Structure 1
Amino acid sequence: MVSFTILLFFAVSGLTLNHADWFTSGKEVVTKDSGNVNVKWVNQPDTTKINKLQLVEYFRNKHQVKGALSDFRIDDRECSMTFNGPGYIADSFVDRETGKYELTVTRLGVFAVINDLHKGRDSGKAWSWIIDISAVLMTLVSISGIILICFIKKKRLSGFILVAVGTIACYLIYKLFVP
């Protein structure tokens, strides 16, 4: 049943990935916010003295920013942070002179979350393990099916013919339609 649930998830998410335009139109929600951080946090002549952790935690606590910090940049005028998660992006830009910031949070909807989870994008190490375990389980289920067909004499020939036809059909479709 675990393999069935995993197979169902990856089948549905494969469909939503293949036809993203069917599932994602108009589902994006963008929220913007602004404010000020303590100028001492960002207005340091030595950029190595800027407390990145303090800034990140400020946005996590004040604005409930989620996702992993994927980018933190510091230049002469501003600090920028990007947080990514499945179906989620948060960008923050902080003016180093004044401490004024702008935050944009984009939620892409439930199908974007499903698609990102299918691809393992911005979903973390734990989800990567789930994908790996799922792949192993689906491989074992497939191999056990092939082994079982070998022991059923009445279905053996037709089973192997169907495997061959399916394999050849996939190969031909790939060669004919994929540039």
Structure 2
Amino acid sequence: MTAKTAKAKRAFWLKQLHTWHWVSSAVCLIGMLLFAITGITLNHAGAVESAPVISERTATLPAPLLATLNATKGDKAAVPADVRKWVDDEISVNLGGKPGEWSEDEVYIGLPRPGGDAWLSIDRESGEILYELTDRGWISYFNDLHKGRNAGEAWSWFIDIFSVATLAFCLTGLVLLQLHARNRPMTWPTVGLGLIVPALIAILFIHM
């Protein structure tokens, strides 16, 4: 391989790496900011935690729908579709086909969510509905998104795609460091520092 060919090949790969590096950084930029900021708020959760706000809604299921509900079989079955629609229309609670916990006295549906919690119960004798929502605020909401807690399948897919983009960003950055390291003597000592500092903290200050 001639010097000219080697130089052209290096220029080609540099261009490719720079392209993948900036594309992956653009894809994961907002996600990295979100995860970096919520990393700080999670690390100081006690200092930024807000008081939860609890609200309740009540209603009474009509007798025909109560009969439909009580005809449902199965310990973990979802409540019937017409009951779900009535609950959504009447008290604006979307049960979304979530399975219920059925007992002789009531049906209990847990409705956990990022930044809070919720549940709904239906008395199988009287038809009385009680819905309780606990809201822990926006910081808790974003902290739960960071952890993927009760955020649903779509958010789980986002985290996976974001992680792949972040890996591409880091790996292309690593190769670019290697290509430019000859003219930047502090490249590898700086990279090594990024490994040594957390390793030393873990060894010296985090006890099993």
- TM-score with structure 2 setting the length: 0.75
Amino acid at match of 2:107: C
| Partners of 2:171 and 2:89 in 1: CA distance | 48
How much has 1:35 moved relative to structure 2? 1.9
Equivalences, count: 176
The percentage of aligned residue pairs carrying the same residue is 28
If you compute each CA radius of gyration, which structure gives the higher value, 1 or 2?
2
Matched with 2:60 is 36
How much has 1:67 moved relative to structure 2? 7.4
Residues 85 and 60 of structure 1: is their aligned pair in 2 closer, same or farther, counting only changes over 3 Å?
A: farther
Matched with 1:57 is 85
Matched with 2:115 is 87
Amino acid at match of 1:37: L
SS at match of 1:92: strand
Amino acid at match of 1:173: I
The question of whether the paired residues in 1 share the 8 Å contact of 2:115 and 2:140 is answered with: yes
| Higher relative contact order, structure no. (Cα contacts within 8 Å, ≥ 6 residues apart) | 2
SS at match of 2:100: strand
Describe how 1:28-177 pairs up with structure 2 within 5 A. Answer: 28-38=52-62, 39-44=66-71, 47-48=73-74, 51-66=79-94, 71-152=99-180, 153-155=182-184, 157-177=185-205
How much has 1:85 moved relative to structure 2? 2.2
How much has 1:17 moved relative to structure 2? 1.4
Q: Which runs of 5 or more structure 2 residues have no equivalent in the other structure?
A: 1-25
How much has 1:177 moved relative to structure 2? 2.7
How much has 1:32 moved relative to structure 2? 0.9
- TM-score with structure 1 setting the length: 0.85
Higher strand share: 1
How much has 1:56 moved relative to structure 2? 3.2
| Partners of 1:146 and 1:138 in 2: CA distance | 12
The equivalent position to 1:5 in structure 2, one of 22, 25, 30, is: 30
Q: Which runs of 5 or more structure 1 residues have no equivalent in the other structure?
A: none
| Partners of 2:36 and 2:197 in 1: CA distance | 19
Amino acid at match of 1:136: V
